[in-house]
């Protein structure tokens, strides 16, 4: 909070009330002999299925979630060129130490809209948790986070209470978050190889006084300007939903990035979604696309869903599960039939996270325009009222900048989608990627998962056989080609 921010008298009274309430609870616990010690700090790896569920549901963060299944997380912080600090989790086996041998490859996983890195590690079994399978198979696994979510609410100059902090959308996710995170990982392995920490290289980067000299990270206006011609490590990108569109947009904005990603695997790739299911929500999408101010007037210009963790706690697991199921049914027409009750019980409490209202506005614009485009900053602003009366006259006055993917993609892609998922139009996606781009005609492979909805490519009852097993085989084939 900035030093000059004024605090209201009502806020002071509320804070004093909360403090007194907590003191009273502590006093009452001491009277009846209840311990206030938090046993989660030293909780052992659980063997019983029910115990696992309870530990994951009660977990406070990514580290506690993976610890319950015998893994551990190392935290990295990526500083983007525009000053946001993004937490990236590296997943490892708890009882293993970092090896000096080079890994098969780095697999980087990125979440979707209104979620965070926890989404990937909420499978009710190991067979439903892709990062665990990847770590066990010998890959170095990193899980990223977008600016503004639970793990990335820090900026070098802005407070999260400042509306300017939340002035971002898919544009910034793609222009900064993805390229800067990939750059960080590449530089990390470049540093490790120079230092002899990993890989076959023994040429350590040492300064004149014998101390280790790490490579300098790029501070220029272009993330890719400092890239070297030879990658220190192969990077495989796995995206879910918006995590797919972010990479595709980044590849279009930075053509050089295509040579840095060796393989892209997309789960439920949301590029140009269909409109929402319920007529009222369709109306909201259309109205928002016509005028940015509509959604801002309802939710403000900061975070969307800022109190989701509060409501998930207050409702309890069963009621919250019903609320989420009903919401997903109204919004998207999903039944959730392919996801077990156990999976919902474990996944729903950690499913959602903050993003900006602007990022939601951006997706409503894409849905209405049926076009993979950058954020429409103008809408009715900068245009006369007469020129904004119709869509045709408005487009004549302003044509929104597209993500220019038609000529800029050159990465092998393997996509999984369900035919019951309104957020994925695979024909539009295929046309967007392949048409007019001969480089991609033999590099795009698409896998249909029948009766799958959006979340099923992560949590479906048969997700191992239908998705994860095929990904592992594809990575084995890729690893064989890379090493040959």
Sketch out the chain's domains with CATH numbers.
49-276+405-483 (3.40.50.1820)
* Residue 371 in tokens: 């076009």
Contact 191, 214 (CB under 8 A): yes
Instruction: Please say if the pLDDT value at position 98 is more than 80.
Output: no
Distance, in Å, from the CA atom of 167 to the CA atom of 100, rounded to the nearest integer, reads 42
Instruction: Please say if the pLDDT value at position 471 is more than 90.
Output: yes
- Non-local CB neighbours of 184 within 8 Å, separated by 6+ positions: 76, 78, 88, 217
For residue 281, give Cα distances in angstroms to 224, 278, 294, 331, 484: 40, 5, 13, 7, 52
What is the share, in percent, of the chain residues with pLDDT greater than 90?
Answer: 64
Mean of pLDDT values over 248-253:
97
* Residue 221 in tokens: 């206006």
Strands 235-240 and 154-155: unpaired
Residue linked to tokens 């369709």: 282
For residue 70, what is the DSSP state?
T
Instruction: Please say if the pLDDT value at position 161 is more than 70.
Output: yes
Which residues, listed in sequence order, are joined to residue 235 by a DSSP beta bridge? Answer: 106
Mean of pLDDT values over 176-203:
81
Mean of pLDDT values over 270-279:
92
For residue 187, give Cα distances in angstroms to 89, 115, 194, 231: 16, 27, 10, 9
Q: Which of 66, 121, 119 is nearest to 94 (CA)?
A: 66
Tell me what pLDDT residue 198 has.
63
Tell me what pLDDT residue 4 has.
52
Instruction: Please say if the pLDDT value at position 217 is more than 80.
Output: no
Distance, in Å, from the CA atom of 293 to the CA atom of 291, rounded to the nearest integer, reads 5
Tell me what pLDDT residue 277 has.
85
For residue 177, what is the DSSP state?
I
Mean of pLDDT values over 255-262:
95
Give the Cβ contact number of residue 442 at 10 Å.
9
Which range is least confidently modeled, 302-316, 362-376, 452-466?
A: 302-316
Instruction: Please say if the pLDDT value at position 58 is more than 80.
Output: yes
Instruction: Please say if the pLDDT value at position 209 is more than 60.
Output: no
* Residue 82 in tokens: 């525009």
Mean of pLDDT values over 378-386:
55
Instruction: Please say if the pLDDT value at position 28 is more than 50.
Output: yes
Mean of pLDDT values over 422-446:
94
Largest CA distance in the chain: 75
Catalytic residues: 241, 421, 454
Computed over every residue of the chain, the mean pLDDT equals 84
Which range is least confidently modeled, 162-166, 387-391, 394-398?
A: 387-391
Give the Cβ contact number of residue 426 at 10 Å.
16
Q: pLDDT class for 10, splitting at 50, 70, 90?
A: confident
Tell me what pLDDT residue 330 has.
92
Distance, in Å, from the CA atom of 316 to the CA atom of 286, rounded to the nearest integer, reads 34
Mean of pLDDT values over 200-214:
38
Tell me what pLDDT residue 223 has.
40
Instruction: Please say if the pLDDT value at position 221 is more than 60.
Output: no
Q: pLDDT class for 218, splitting at 50, 70, 90?
A: very low
Q: Which of 11-15, 318-322, 466-470 has the highest mean pLDDT?
A: 466-470
Q: Which of 11-15, 96-100, 316-320 has the highest mean pLDDT?
A: 316-320
Tell me what pLDDT residue 233 has.
86
Phi-psi region of 8 (alpha: psi -120 to 50; beta: other; left: phi over 0): beta
Q: pLDDT class for 351, splitting at 50, 70, 90?
A: very high
**CA-angle at 466, arms to 260 and 420, nearest 5°:** 95
Which range is least confidently modeled, 5-14, 316-325, 451-460?
A: 5-14
Which residues, listed in sequence order, are joined to residue 413 by a DSSP beta bridge? Answer: 264, 444
Residue linked to tokens 């109204």: 330
What is 77-130 written as a DSSP string? Answer: EEE-TTSEEEEEEEEEETT-PPPSSPPS-EEEEE--TT--GGGGG--SSGGG-H
Q: Give 120-140 pLDDT, tens digit per residue.
A: 999 999 999 999 999 999 999
Instruction: Please say if the pLDDT value at position 99 is more than 70.
Output: no
pTM, two decimals, is: 0.84
């Amino acid at each position: 909070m900035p030093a000059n921010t004024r605090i209201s008298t009502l806020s002071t009274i509320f804070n004093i009330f909360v403090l007194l309430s907590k003191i009273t609870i502590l006093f009452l616990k001491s009277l009846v002999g209840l311990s206030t010690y938090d046993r989660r700090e030293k909780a052992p790896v659980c063997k019983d299925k029910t115990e696992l569920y309870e530990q994951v549901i009660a977990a406070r963060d990514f580290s506690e979630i993976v610890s319950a299944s015998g893994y551990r997380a190392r935290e990295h912080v990526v500083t983007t060129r525009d000053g946001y600090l993004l937490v990236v989790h590296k997943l490892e086996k708890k009882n293993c130490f970092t090896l000096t041998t080079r890994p098969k490859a780095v697999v980087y996983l990125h979440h979707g809209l209104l979620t965070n890195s926890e989404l990937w590690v909420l499978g009710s079994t190991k067979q439903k948790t892709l990062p665990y399978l990847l770590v066990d198979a010998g890959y170095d696994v990193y899980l990223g986070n977008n600016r503004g979510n639970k793990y990335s609410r820090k900026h070098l100059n802005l407070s999260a209470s400042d509306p300017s902090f939340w002035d971002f959308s898919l544009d910034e996710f793609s222009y900064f978050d993805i390229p800067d995170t990939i750059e960080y990982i590449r530089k990390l392995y470049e540093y490790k190889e120079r230092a002899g920490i990993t890989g076959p290289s023994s040429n350590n980067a040492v300064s004149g006084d014998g101390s280790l000299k790490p490579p300098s990270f790029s501070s220029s206006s272009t993330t890719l300007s400092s890239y070297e011609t030879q990658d220190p490590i192969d990077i495989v990108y796995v995206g879910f939903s918006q995590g797919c569109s972010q990479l595709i947009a980044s590849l279009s904005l930075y053509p050089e990035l295509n040579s840095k990603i060796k393989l892209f695997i997309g789960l439920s790739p949301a590029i140009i979604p269909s409109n929402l299911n319920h007529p009222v929500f369709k109306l909201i999408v259309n109205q928002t696309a016509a005028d940015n101010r509509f959604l801002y007037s309802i939710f403000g210009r900061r975070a969307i869903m800022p109190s989701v963790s509060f409501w998930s706690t207050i409702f309890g697991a069963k009621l919250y599960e019903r609320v989420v199921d009903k919401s997903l049914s109204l919004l998207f027409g999903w039944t959730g039939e392919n996801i077990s009750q156990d999976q919902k019980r474990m996944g729903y409490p950690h499913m959602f996270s903050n993003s900006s209202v602007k990022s939601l506005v951006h997706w409503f614009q894409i849905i209405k325009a049926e076009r993979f485009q950058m954020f429409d900053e103008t809408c009715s602003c900068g245009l006369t009222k007469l020129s904004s009366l119709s869509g045709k006259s408005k487009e004549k006055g302003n044509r929104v900048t597209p993500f220019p993917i038609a000529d800029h993609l050159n990465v092998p892609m393997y996509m999984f989608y369900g035919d019951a998922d309104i957020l994925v139009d695979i024909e539009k996606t295929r046309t967007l990627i392949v048409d007019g781009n001969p480089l991609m005609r033999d590099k795009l492979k698409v896998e249909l998962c029948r009766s799958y909805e959006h979340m099923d490519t992560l949590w479906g009852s048969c997700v191992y056989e239908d998705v994860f097993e095929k990904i592992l085989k594809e990575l084995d084939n890729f690893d064989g080609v890379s090493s040959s």
